[in-house]
Amino acid sequence: MKLESGTLVNGRYRIENQIGIGGTAVVYKATDEKLGRVVTLKTLREEYVDNKEFIKRFTTEAQAAARLNHPNIVSAYDVGRDGDICYIIMEYIDGYTLKELIRKSAPFTNEETLGVALQIAAALDAAHSNNIVHRDIKPQNILVTKEGNIKVTDFGIARAASSSTLTTEQMGSAHYFSPEQARGGFVDNKSDIYSLGIVMFEMLTGKVPFDGDSPVALAIKHMDQPLPDIRTLNPDVSLSLIKIIKKATAKRSGERYQSAKELIADLRRAVNDKSGNFVRDNNPDRTSHTIVMTPEDRKVIREKSKQLDRQGHNNYGRHTGSANDDRRRTGKTERTTSRQEDEESKKFVIGGVLTGVAIVAVITLVFAFIIGGSSSKDVVMPQLVDLTQELAEKSAKENGIFLDIELVESDELQGVVVGQDVEAGKKISKGDTVKIQVSKGNGEVELPDVVGDSMDDAQKKLKEAGITNVNFSLQQSPNIPSGTVISTTPDAGTMINVDDEVVLYVSISDTEETVQVEDVLGKSEAEAVKILEEQGFVVKTDKVASDEYAAGQVCAQSKDGGFEALKGSAIMIYISTGPKEIKAEEPAPETEAPKANDNNSNSNVKSVDYNDAVGRKSTISIPVTKVPDEDKVNVKITEVGLDGTETVVYQKEISKSSFPYSYTTEGSGGTYNVYYDDKISAVHNFDDGGLASSNYYEDGKLVDSGN
């Protein structure tokens, strides 16, 4: 029964117009006259109205879905019945389906696919946490708002429908069905993950991986055939996305991602790591992921197909169940007769601004679109919360706005945006400055994946992540290049405290000899040198202050006792000069700027003590105070080592509006150089976690010095 415009449902919802027909429902745009808002009203199709079991199941599932409150899920407001009209009231979305955008603009870029997939996965995570499985994830059930947000719809309806007799709508969804759905098996959250993997495949290639003339053909392909090679359809797809999709669409559910949270974590890593080495195989010993269909499986599928034939549903594979597909077929709805709406849909451009990724959180893909009559100086504020600072800055730059960044305490990971002063979706002017809050972190960091890297590169990656307590274990591996990291403890991706020990297992050739390093702490310099040289090491020494070891005793060694080291390699031992004297020290006059790798450039810097040598660190804050003349400046901060070499610990392009600010890192003493566009700006000396002295420079000349 079609509801005419003006019809009042349940004395509250006034029908405006029909906007679509699906396999289970007819969809209308309506006005909630009680609250004065536009809503979507879905009425069950006539064949379901007298099915008491279905109505009961539909009501229960719709009520469960109404409890979901998530920015990437279409909200369900109400469910009820008015005579023969069984309805559900949902949030009205002024936008388009992901299916339409795929048809217009696929293949998507890697970044666009990640942005959309992360939002869908966030919606699934919220639903699965409430014990709700969607069961019908497909592009037709994923909406894109004009503000660029992704909204998953039909939670509850899909579950109710899939529990009833097999329908044409389900057969249209068979392109995205998991193997267990295809054979009528147990369905859980991992079925939704499989379907999302298929949607990602379609976004990247513009095609579904499996097609057929009947549900039987599609079911068999989902169960029997491996996923087609994505790169034959789109050679630009990253290895990380390929590996993620393969894992998400594994034939056996136990080999897929076991939760949406797990999938989100890998999608986030894929933003910066194109290799996909972080994707872990749940069953690495298995050589084939294909499920062999039993005769019983085929019999069940064919019986369901015959049931549909008897019901008169013969257009297999054509009816997708989406409102938009039905509108195109019937030619009777307003969308097919409205050229204006069709023209507006063409203004959506999928190659828009990717605003990024965050762990277990909502991520927003903002599409570049043109709204007729709007000022060219206006932009829509993107969603920055839950993005990394880097991606937030990228989004702001592409939208022509500036960021004022404030570091705040938060349980979120370090570098994740936790707040923004201008609400997403609000119109602002290009050139405006928006204040955002970025998490300082909770003391934990994610262990980077350094497997396959050289020892030096691995150490640099770990140091950039704030991890300094690193030891090595050498293993003879004739088939792996010498000096390559072959594994780590803990595994990559593990959340650890910055001072936790990390062990790198490094390959050496079978012709190289390793020796277990002797622990020489507390021994005299002469004794320690003798022991280590007899082991075959080249010994170097340096002197540092120590409160723990007496003068002349070894207080630290660069390679810890008990670990394997390559015979003939160098070991640095630090000899105590006794407790550190506490006295003020005047910096020597200096007129020229310090130069990188100049051992004499830091003559005014207090000597590094034992606490620095062995890595006893606390939090220090490096001031970056000079306001640049330009709108943006590349800020680089380097840490000066014991040998005078500089290591970059921070580098980022910062907007003028963000000054002054400071960079927080781990340390207790030492020297840090601050550069603006590779020109020295300041030298800060830290002592016992506090700022001891600072020198400031202009055009390489010292202009200010103070303690």
Whole-Å CA distances, 197 to 58, 109, 190, 260, 442: 27, 16, 11, 11, 32
Alpha-carbon distance of 603 to 104, in angstroms, equals 64
Alpha-carbon distance of 368 to 144, in angstroms, equals 12
579 within 8 A of 545, measured Cβ to Cβ: yes
* Continuous H helices in 86-238: 98-105, 110-129, 157-162, 168-172, 179-182, 189-205, 215-224, 230-233
Q: How many CB atoms lie within 10 A of CB 679?
A: 14
DSSP for residue 686: E
Alpha-carbon distance of 25 to 32, in angstroms, equals 19
CA-angle at 243, arms to 242 and 244, nearest 5°: 95
Residue type present at position 514: T
End-to-end CA distance of the chain: 83
538 within 8 A of 570, measured Cβ to Cβ: yes
133 within 8 A of 188, measured Cβ to Cβ: yes
Alpha-carbon distance of 219 to 216, in angstroms, equals 5
The answer, yes or no, to whether the previous bond of 107 is cis (omega within 30 of 0) is yes
Which candidate in 50, 82, 84, 136 is catalytic?
136
Nearest CA-CA partner of 240 in 362, 114, 325: 114
* 306 class by beta-carbon count within 10 Å (0-12 exposed, 13-18 middle, 19+ buried): exposed
DSSP 3-state of 202: helix
Token pair for 450 = 């350094």
3 within 8 A of 299, measured Cβ to Cβ: no
Whole-Å CA distances, 502 to 434, 462, 486, 641, 644: 39, 9, 13, 21, 26
319 within 8 A of 215, measured Cβ to Cβ: no
* 340 class by beta-carbon count within 10 Å (0-12 exposed, 13-18 middle, 19+ buried): exposed
Q: Kindly provide the b/e burial profile for residues 407-436, where b requires at least 16 CB atoms within 10 angstroms of the residue's own CB.
A: beebebbbbbbbebebebbeebeeeebbeb
Strand partners, 592: 701
Residue type present at position 264: I
DSSP code string of 20-48:
EE-SSEEEEEEEETTTTEEEEEEEE-HHH
Helix (H), strand (E) at residue 408 = strand 402-408
Active-site residue, 499 included: no
627 within 8 A of 570, measured Cβ to Cβ: no
Going 204 to 207 to 210 to 214, the CA torsion angle's sign is positive
Whole-Å CA distances, 438 to 225, 411, 425, 694: 46, 11, 20, 27
Enzyme catalytic residues: 136
